[in-house]
Structure 1
Amino acid sequence: MNLPALYHSLILWIGDGTGLPDAILHIHAGLAILMIARLLSRRSLGTFIPFVFVVVAELANETMDYLAYGLRWADTLSDLGNTLFWPAVISAGVRLRPMTRKDQRSEQPSDQHTVG
Structure 2
Amino acid sequence: MAFLIPDLTAIPQDYHRLILWVSEKTGLADNLLHIHSGFIIFLLARLVTRRPYRSFVPLLCVALAEAGNEILDYMAYRWRPTDTYWDIANTLFWPLMISFVERWPPVAKRDRQ
User: What TM-score does the superposition give when structure 2 sets the normalisation length?
Assistant: 0.85
Deviations 1:40-76 (A, max 9, x none): 0000000000000000000000000000000000000
2:52 alignment counterpart: 44
What is the identity percentage for the equivalent residue pairs of Structure 1 and Structure 2? 47
What is the alpha-carbon distance in structure 2 between the residues aligned to residue 87 and residue 27 of structure 1? Answer: 9
Please, which runs of 5 or more residues in structure 1 have no aligned partner? 101-116
Aligned-residue CA RMSD in angstroms?
A: 1.4
SS of the residue 1:55 aligns to? helix
Which residue type is aligned with residue 45 of structure 2? A
What is the alpha-carbon distance in structure 1 between the residues aligned to residue 34 and residue 96 of structure 2? Answer: 14
1:21 alignment counterpart: 29
| 1:63 aligned residue (45, 68, 71) | 71
- In the TM superposition, residue 3 of structure 1 has moved relative to its aligned partner by 0.4
2:97 alignment counterpart: 89
Moved over 3 A (4+): none
Please, which runs of 5 or more residues in structure 2 have no aligned partner? 1-6, 109-113
User: What TM-score does the superposition give when structure 1 sets the normalisation length?
Assistant: 0.83
- In the TM superposition, residue 97 of structure 1 has moved relative to its aligned partner by 3.7
